[in-house]
Amino acid sequence: MVVGIFVLAPHIVAFFGDERYRPSIITLKIVSFNLIFISISNFLSYQINIPCNRERFNIIGSAISLGTSLIFIPVFVRIFYHNGAALSMLFSLLLQTIFLFFTSTNIGKDIVIDVKNLFYPFSSILMGMILFFIVNWFKTGNVIIELVFYIISGAGIYLAFLIIIRDKITLELLNLLIVLLSRKFKK
């Protein structure tokens, strides 16, 4: 998703605005990286700290994020203008993630991670790389057509990866879809 937003930022801004909003492309690209730190922080919070009764570290991590935002937003906005708030948010989420990582590492021996789950981030990265090449190859001049094509392409690539790794929920949904379609066409 991060790669998709990063790559499609010019198209997203062109879709929602006009030429006056072109400087916000950089801001959108910066904000897209927040998804990485939010995902890691949520994983550490909800999968490690909360089940191990260590919620206090989540609160402390959130306080660190809030404190750094309050300190760095005024500084970064003066230096980087409209990108300053995005950079400040990125920096504060990075610090929160680092704090949660270090508070969660000493209990890692009690956690069992299914290796199959490592295929999801790998497939997302590969999907982003393929989408990057598609964006550089497919140009029509019409932002709406390009965005729809990129979204359908990205979803199709991710679905293919889910089928390849035999994701249980995806396979069940596909079987349900086949059953529903076969009932409809039998009539």
Domain limit, last residue, from 96, 112, 128: 112
According to DSSP, residue 118 is labeled G
Q: What is the pLDDT of residue 60?
A: 93
- 125 with 147, same domain: the answer is yes
Q: Which domain holds residue 126?
A: 113-187
pLDDT 10s digits, 61-86: 999 999 998 999 899 999 998 898 88
Comparing CA positions, the residue from 96, 86, 76, 94 lying closest to residue 31 is 86
pLDDT in tens, 116-164: 666 766 777 777 777 777 777 777 878 788 878 888 887 888 888 888 8
- Domain finish residue from 112, 127, 144: 112
Last residue of a domain, one of 92, 112, 132: 112
Read off the pTM. 0.64
Q: Give the residue among 108, 112, 89, 101 at the shortest CA–CA distance from 58.
A: 101
